[in-house]
A = this chain, B = another copy of it.
Amino acid sequence: MAGEKRAGILMAGTDRTQPMNFDPAPAIILCEPQLGENIGTAARAMANFGLWDLRLVAPRDGWPNDKARAAASRADHVVDRIRVFDTLAEAIADLSLVYATTARRRELAHEVIGPDEAARRLARHIGSAQRAGMVFGREKWGLYNEEVALCDAIVTLPVDPAFASLNIAQAVLVTAYEWRRETTQAALPVSSPAASLASKDELRGMYLQLEEALDRSGFFKTPEKRPTFIINLRTMLGKAGFSDQEVRTLRGILAALDRRHLYDKPGRGLPRRGRGKASDE
C-alpha cells in the first residue's frame, strides 16, 4: 500500500480494487494543446471525476507524449485511450451536443452558461443515450470563432474578472467536477460516521447527572439562578449532537470528576433536585 501514498494529497483515498470507470460520459476535446503537461494533468483531472474520453486536435508536439503520461499520475486508462484528430470538426463528428469553453466575450450569438448548467444538460443528453463533449482552447489564445461556431453553446467559469487566467487542466477539472456532482448527486467517497445520536432519554440522564454533581460541588451559590442556568446549560450541550457513545464517555468523565468532590467535601448531603440516579450511590 506504500505506493498509494506517492502522488497526491488525496492519494490515500484511491481504492485500486475498484474497476476503472467507463460509464457513458462527455468527451473532452483539447484544441491544439501545446504542452504535454497540460494534456497529462487534464487526463488526471478527468479520471478524478469519472471522465475517460480524451481527444486531441493537432497537439503541437505530436502524440504519444512522454511528458503527458508523466503528468497524468497514472491515469493510464485515460491516456491509453486518447484519440488524435486533424481538425475540431473531425474530433466532434460523432457528438450531438458540444460546448465550447471560453472566457472571451464574442460577437457570436451563442448562449453562455456556467459549468453547473452545462453538467445538467450534458447529463440529460447522455442519459438519453446521446453523445456529448466539451471543447477547450489553446493555452495561448483559446478557440477561434470558427471553432466556437461548431458548438451549441459557450460554457464559461464564474471566475473573478480581475484574475480570470485559468490553466486548461484546471478548467477541465471544474467541468469534470460538475459532471460528477450532477451525475452522482455529489456522492462522497468517504461518508460521515454512522450517525447514532443519543436519545432524549440518554441526554436527560446525562444532564441530571451533571446537575446533581454541580449541586454536590456547591456550584450554585445563588439557588434562585439554578433553573435558568440549567435550561441554558442543556441548550448549550444539546447543540453538540452527542452520540450515545459520546454520552457514555461524558457520563464516565462526570462520574470521575464528581467522585473527587465526594472525597474532598462533606457536601454530599446537599439538597437534591431531579430524579436522576447519581453514579456511585
The chain B residue with its CB closest to the CB of A51 is B160
Contact with B along A170-207 (1 / 0, CB 8 A): 11011001001100101111111100000000000000
Known A158-B189, A173-B173: A9·B166 in contact at CB below 8 Å: yes
Residues of B within 8 Å of A189, CB to CB, are 103, 156, 158-161, 164
What does the 1/0 interface line of A144-164 toward B look like (CB < 8 Å)?
000000000010111111111
- B187–A14 contact, CB under 8 A? no
Inside 8 A of A191's CB, which chain B residues have their CB? Answer: 112
Once A112-B188, A180-B158, A190-B104 are accepted as A-B contacts, the answer to whether A164 and B9 lie under 8 Å apart by CB is no
A50 to B16, CA, bound (A): 36
- Nearest CB in chain B: distance from A157 CB, A: 7
Known: A10-B171, A14-B164, A157-B188. 6 other contacts (CB 8 A): A8-B166, A9-B101, A18-B161, A116-B186, A158-B186, A161-B189
> 17 A-B pairs, CB-CB below 8 angstroms?
A5-B140, A10-B157, A10-B159, A11-B165, A13-B103, A13-B156, A18-B161, A44-B167, A47-B160, A73-B165, A103-B190, A156-B189, A158-B177, A158-B186, A159-B189, A160-B189, A174-B177
A interface residue numbers (CB < 8 A to B): 5-16, 18-21, 41, 44-45, 47-50, 73-75, 101-105, 108-114, 116, 136-142, 154, 156-171, 173-174, 177, 180-181, 184, 186-193, 243, 246
